Structure 1
Amino acid sequence: MNLLIKNVNVIDATRDMHADVMIENGIIKEVGQNIRSEYESIDAKGLTLLPSFVDMHTHLRTPGYEYKEDLESGQRAALKGGFTTLCAMANTNPVCDNEDVMEFINEKVKNLNLCNVVQISSVTKNLDGVETVDFDKMIKYTKLFSDDGKTIENEDIMRKALKLSKDMNFKVLTHCDSEEEIVRRDLEILEDVGGNLHICHISLKSTLDTIREFKDKNIKFTCEVTPHHIFKSNIDYKVNPSFATTEDVGALIQGIKEGYIDIIGTDHAPHSMEDKKNNAPGISNIEVAFSMVYRVFKENDISINKLSEMMSYNPARILNLKCGLIKEGYVADLVLVDLNKKYKIDTSKFISKGKNNPFDGYEVCGEVKMTIKGGAILYDNR
């Protein structure tokens, strides 16, 4: 796809400038002043162009739980939120622990032709924590493995997974209950055997202290925080991990400022109203994740460049994708936003089947106006 975006504020992890951006065959061809072209032109005066967002932690619920979300509703919700790449967790029914389920999902994603979906495999068969999946077979489909939704309690299983992640070049995304204790255990195993570890959705000051300890020892791993765990504290709403204290939230924000937290992962977890009434943990947030994070960053004097680093550049780099920057030669996965727009979250307008969000009516900052994937406009809210 060919496109020329004119008069726009261009911001990514490395730059902040006023420019034109020319896209040719889905790739960023030129970023500069007064670019002339015969391509379709968008006048984006007053708006900001960011690299689109990359979510390393989301739940698309297919197969088996399509009443909560399906691949189309989840991807269209993501596009509304400015996301073009989604890493979908394996806690489906049947569990994504074999070739048949992986092929079923990939075929549906291909036919929809919306987002770039990276399907995650479970680490253990049926998420039971007892027997590992056939990594030799599953590595043909994915380089991400996680039992998210359940903690790998068996230390030998985690040790095996991390060792193989080094030998076979894949990444283990760990879900940790009890949080600080399991994070420390996993980091001690990592320090011992090596490997590629990503720690999901941290929420506690004590966990951050452990992460700081190991990063300061130059142990290589990455970690994430969700939008909701930095947005509010002490909320009586069922998510996993739970909403934490004001002190914890303050520590997480400080950890972002100091660079100890690498990415924002939404942990978008849509549920039906009935399931939520039955205490199912999770929040539907992918459509408002950027706006929630931007409000927090503005209130805490954290730059929009840092937001772009954590929501676009860092996850793209972890996944070895050539996106996440607005730079010549990069894939034209972009999002056009109005940074001055304030609005109230309205869950009744969610595209996602999941309306489960405790922040209905809360004011947030920054509205997605357009989402572009490979130069093609897939969401337009101008």
Structure 2
Amino acid sequence: MNLLIKNANIMDVSKNIISDILIENGKISRIDKNIISKYKSIDAKGLTLIPSFIDMHTHLRTPGYEYKEDLESGQKAALKGGYTTLCAMANTNPVCDNEKVINLINEKVKRLNLCDVIQVSSVTKNLDGVETVDFDKMVKHTKLFSDDGKTIENEDIMKKALKLSKDMNFKILTHCDPESEIVRRDLEILENTGGNLHICHISLKSTLDTIKEFKDKNIKFTCEVTPHHIFKSNLDYKVNPSFATTEDVSALIQGIKDGYIDVIATDHAPHSMEDKKNNAPGISNIEVAFSMVYKVFKDNGIPINKLIEMMSYNPAKILGLNSGVISEGYKADLVLVDLHEKYTIDVNSFISKGKNNPFDGYEVCGKVKMTIKGGEILYDNR
């Protein structure tokens, strides 16, 4: 796809310029002022162009839970939120623990041709924590493995998985409950065995203290926080992990400022209203994640370059993608945002089947106006 974007305020992890950007064959071919081109042109004056977002933690619910979300509704919701790449968790029905299931998902994703979806495999068969999946087979289809939704209780399983992650070059995305204790256990195993570890959705100051301790020892791993765990404290709404205290939220925000937290991932977990009434944990948030995070960052004096680092640049780096920055030769996965527009979250306007979001009626700041993937406009709300 070929496209010319004029007069954009272009920002990524290191730049802030007003310029034109030429996209040819799905990649950024030129960044300059006053570009003249025969291609379709968009005037982005007054808007900010940033790398599109990459979600390292999404629940797309296919197969088996399509009444909560399906691949089409989930991806269209993601595009509305400025996301073009999604890492979809394995706690489906049947569980994504074998080639048949992962091939089924990948074929459906290919037919829809919306986002890039990296399907995660479970670490253990049927998420039972007893027997590992066939890593030799599954690593041909994915480099991400997680029992998210469940903790790997068995230390020997975790040791085996981390050792193989080093030998076979894949990543373990770990769900930790109880959070602080399991994070420490996993980091101690990592320190002894090596491996490629990413810690999901931290929420507590005590967890962050442990992460600081091991990062300060130069143990290599990454971790994420969700938009909702920095947006609000002490909320009586079922998510996993739970909403934490004001002290915890303040610590997480400081951890972002200090560079100890690498990624903001949504943990988008859509549910039906009936499931939510029956206490199913989770929040539908991918459509408003950017606005929630931007409000928190703005309120706490954190520059938008840091937001881009955590929502675009770092995830791209961790996943080995040719995106996450706006430079010549990179994939044209981009999002146009209005940083000045305030709006009220309205769950009834969600594309996602999941309307389960406790922030309905809250005011946020920064609105996605257009999402571009590979130079193709897939969402336009100008």
Q: Is residue 307 from structure 1 mapped to residue 272 from structure 2 by the alignment?
A: no
SS for the counterpart of 1:218 is coil
SS for the counterpart of 2:49 is strand
Deviations 1:217-243 (A, max 9, x none): 000000000000000000000000000
Q: Distance in 2 between matches of 1:308 and 1:126?
A: 35
1:268 alignment counterpart: 268
2:349 alignment counterpart: 349
1:20 alignment counterpart: 20
Report the Cα offset of residue 273 of structure 1.
Answer: 0.1
Superposition RMSD in Å: 0.3
Report the Cα offset of residue 280 of structure 1.
Answer: 0.1
Q: Match of 2:136, as an amino acid?
A: D
2:249 alignment counterpart: 249
Q: Is residue 139 from structure 1 mapped to residue 139 from structure 2 by the alignment?
A: yes
Report the Cα offset of residue 38 of structure 1.
Answer: 1.1
Q: Distance in 1 between matches of 2:221 and 2:47?
A: 35
1:171 alignment counterpart: 171
Report the Cα offset of residue 94 of structure 1.
Answer: 0.1
SS for the counterpart of 1:279 is coil
Q: Match of 1:74, as an amino acid?
A: G
SS for the counterpart of 1:297 is helix
Structure 1, unmatched stretches of 5+, are none
SS for the counterpart of 1:340 is strand
1:375 alignment counterpart: 375
1:39 alignment counterpart: 39
Report the Cα offset of residue 282 of structure 1.
Answer: 0.1
Q: Distance in 1 between matches of 2:112 and 2:296?
A: 34
Q: Is residue 114 from structure 1 mapped to residue 114 from structure 2 by the alignment?
A: yes
2:335 alignment counterpart: 335
SS for the counterpart of 1:55 is strand
Q: Distance in 2 between matches of 1:276 and 1:176?
A: 22
Report the Cα offset of residue 36 of structure 1.
Answer: 1.4
Identity %: 82
Q: Distance in 1 between matches of 2:36 and 2:211?
A: 49
Q: Match of 2:7, as an amino acid?
A: N
Report the Cα offset of residue 119 of structure 1.
Answer: 0.1
SS for the counterpart of 1:45 is coil
Report the Cα offset of residue 52 of structure 1.
Answer: 0.2
Residue-pair matches, total: 382
Deviations 1:77-106 (A, max 9, x none): 000000000000000000000000000000
Q: Distance in 2 between matches of 1:91 and 1:309?
A: 28
Q: Is residue 88 from structure 1 mapped to residue 88 from structure 2 by the alignment?
A: yes
SS for the counterpart of 1:173 is strand
Q: Match of 1:5, as an amino acid?
A: I
Deviations 1:245-277 (A, max 9, x none): 000000000000000000000000000000000
Q: Is residue 216 from structure 1 mapped to residue 216 from structure 2 by the alignment?
A: yes
SS for the counterpart of 1:183 is helix
Structure 2, unmatched stretches of 5+, are none
Write out the 4+ residue segments of structure 1 that deviate beyond 4 Å after TM superposition: none
Using structure 2 for the length normalisation, give the TM-score: 1.00
Alignment of structure 1 residues 176-255 onto 2, 5 Å: 176-255=176-255
Q: Match of 2:192, as an amino acid?
A: D
Deviations 1:297-333 (A, max 9, x none): 0000000000000000000110000000000000000
SS for the counterpart of 1:370 is strand
2:70 alignment counterpart: 70
Q: Distance in 1 between matches of 2:21 and 2:363?
A: 31
